[in-house]
Amino acid sequence: NAGVTQTPKFQVLKTGQSMTLQCAQDMNHNSMYWYRQDPGMGLRLIYYSASEGTTDKGEVPNGYNVSRLNKREFSLRLESAAPSQTSVYFCASMEASGLGYTFGSGTRLTVV
């Protein structure tokens, strides 16, 4: 039982490049989330998906897009990376009971 799997773990991009962060969960959870974590600012919600086929903006969605490919997979895309998107990105999922998230191991992204 792998839980929540994120790829890649590390990535360096040049300004203007695009990339997709992948996330998959094997716990049959309906809800999935993307957060970014910056020093002193805690975890901020980028996008979430309450169920397969639905996605909604969170607190900081600008510059990002998401796809809920199926119940297991929820990807985050940066179309044109900017240095302000340098951060650690976490994917999470939650079961229907709402008793907290399970997080992936994170992606450390640097945009130069």
Partner 1 sequence: QKEVEQNSGPLSVPEGAIASLNCTYSDRGSQSFFWYRQYSGKSPELIMFIYSNGDKEDGRFTAQLNKASQYVSLLIRDSQPSDSATYLCADINDYKLSFGAGTTVTVRA
Positions touching partner 1 (CB under 8 A) are 31, 33, 40-45, 48, 50, 58, 90, 94, 98-106
Q: Which residue's CB is nearer to partner 1, number 64 or number 90?
A: 90
Give the CA count within 13 Å in the CB-facing half-sphere of 45: 13
Q: Which residue's CB is nearer to partner 1, number 1 or number 14?
A: 1
* Shortest Å, Cβ 15 to partner 1: 25
Strand order, beta sheet including 64-68: 4-7, 19-25, 74-78, 64-68
Q: Which residue's CB is nearer to partner 1, number 2 or number 99?
A: 99
* Shortest Å, Cβ 102 to partner 1: 8
* Shortest Å, Cβ 47 to partner 1: 11
DSSP assignment of 72-85: SBEEEEESS--GGG
Determine the Cα–Cα distance for residues 28 and 14; give it in Å rounded to an integer.
36
